[in-house]
């Protein structure tokens, strides 16, 4: 069984929703990052919040609130149950969110309880080790997993069965590890915490996305042994080898974007969609994408909601194939 996970139906270049009358202005803009500081959701909130203000798309400073737990489930439940009509609130989301929704891991919650705003790019997955690790390549790591699964623990910032976990299983399966349930994955609340455990020696490898790994690479703490991209990325990421060039046909791209409370007003929803679309189209955001290894993914409003729906269905199918759900 070969598993390839690509971004489903990339409708690149989807047109932004136009808002003729800007009859809503966020007074206390807030972004919930559903994990501890240092991970991909935290990056999404902080980078977008700063850029919205730098581009004069919002008047007030975006407050970022870290609400970790349940692989994003604590934040999702908070929005659905307590803040359903908050017009000032947006929430960072990603393939990890779609994965948890696909697997029914947010008890009693479904994707149609919130409104899906827009994407801001796609973040390719990485597998990394500590800078001083004896492991040099992805095949070397997977050989160790194959011969003695108990010798390797891999940390990630999503829950067991979540997106970070799935990326490792996709690579393991592509390498010929038939029973991927033998792979020892340890979940933490965010990529930052997972890397901390890697540096402490508690685990032997890290699975995450290139944006959350970048700072730790720059500081010399970790070394990327594989990017789960079809080909090498450009610029400062060009030195990172792909899994594919090491003979392992594993691809995993994590979309990044936002959802909003389900009862947000249409006026507020349209304005938020418009603001994120304007940010995405700016040269300044293109620079942020290039600096953080984000690939293009330009979807807003209905097109983004359909994309998330397709992603949830795709991940459900994959999760059944590898035995995570029935």
In CATH, what number is assigned to the domain containing residue 128? 3.40.190.10
Query: Do residues 108 and 152 share a domain?
Result: no
List phi, psi (to 5°) of 222.
-130, 165
**Element of type H or E holding 310:** helix 301-321
Amino acid 53: pLDDT: 97
- In this prediction the pTM is 0.77
In a domain, 6, yes or no: no
Amino acid 4: pLDDT: 45
Query: Do residues 220 and 293 share a domain?
Result: no
Query: Do residues 133 and 119 share a domain?
Result: no
Vertex 185, ends 180 and 190: CA angle to 5°?
A: 135
DSSP E strands, 103-240 = 114-130, 153-156, 184-187, 205-209, 222-227
Query: Do residues 163 and 187 share a domain?
Result: yes
In a domain, 274, yes or no: yes
Query: Do residues 54 and 195 share a domain?
Result: no
d(CA 31, CA 66): 9
- Could you list the residue range(s) of the whole structural domain that residue 261 is in? 30-123+253-321
Query: Do residues 137 and 227 share a domain?
Result: yes
Amino acid 55: pLDDT: 97
Amino acid 120: pLDDT: 97
In a domain, 4, yes or no: no
Query: Do residues 57 and 132 share a domain?
Result: no
Query: Do residues 138 and 236 share a domain?
Result: yes
Amino acid 21: pLDDT: 43
Query: Do residues 112 and 259 share a domain?
Result: yes
Contact yes or no for 276/49 (Cβ under 8 A): no
User: What residues of the chain score a pLDDT lower than 70?
Assistant: 1-22
Contact yes or no for 128/205 (Cβ under 8 A): yes
β partners of residue 22: none
State the total domains in the chain. Answer: 2
Query: Do residues 130 and 173 share a domain?
Result: yes
């Amino acid at each position: 069984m070969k598993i390839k996970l690509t971004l489903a139906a990339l409708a690149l270049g989807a047109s932004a929703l136009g808002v003729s009358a800007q009859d809503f202005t966020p007074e206390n803009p807030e972004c919930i990052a559903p994990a501890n500081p240092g991970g991909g959701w935290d990056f999404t909130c902080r980078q977008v919040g700063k850029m919205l203000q730098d581009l004069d798309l919002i008047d007030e400073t975006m407050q970022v609130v870290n609400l970790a737990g349940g692989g994003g489930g604590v934040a999702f439940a908070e929005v659905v149950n307590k803040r359903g009509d908050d017009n000032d609130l947006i929430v960072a989301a990603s393939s990890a969110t779609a994965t948890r929704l696909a697997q029914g891991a947010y008890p009693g919650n479904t994707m149609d309880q919130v409104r899906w705003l827009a994407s801001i790019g796609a973040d390719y997955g990485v597998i990394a080790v500590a800078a001083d690790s004896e492991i040099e390549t992805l095949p070397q790591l997977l050989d160790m997993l194959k011969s003695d699964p108990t010798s390797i623990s891999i940390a990630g910032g999503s829950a067991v069965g979540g997106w970070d976990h799935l990326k490792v299983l996709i690579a393991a399966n592509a390498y010929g590890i038939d029973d991927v349930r033998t792979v020892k994955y340890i979940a933490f609340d965010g990529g930052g915490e997972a890397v901390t455990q890697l540096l402490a020696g508690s685990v032997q490898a890290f699975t995450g996305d290139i944006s959350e790994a970048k700072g730790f690479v720059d500081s010399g703490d970790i070394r990327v042994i594989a990017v789960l991209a079809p080909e090498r990325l450009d610029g400062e990421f060009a030195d990172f080898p792909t899994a594919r060039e090491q003979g392992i046909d594993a691809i995993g791209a994590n979309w990044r974007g936002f959802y909003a409370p389900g009862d947000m007003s249409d006026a507020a929803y349209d304005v938020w969609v418009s603001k994120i679309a304007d940010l995405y189209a700016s040269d300044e955001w293109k620079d942020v994408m290039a600096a953080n290894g984000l690939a293009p993914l330009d979807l807003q409003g209905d097109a983004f909601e359909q994309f998330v729906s397709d992603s949830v269905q795709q991940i459900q199918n994959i999760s059944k194939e590898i035995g995570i759900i029935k």
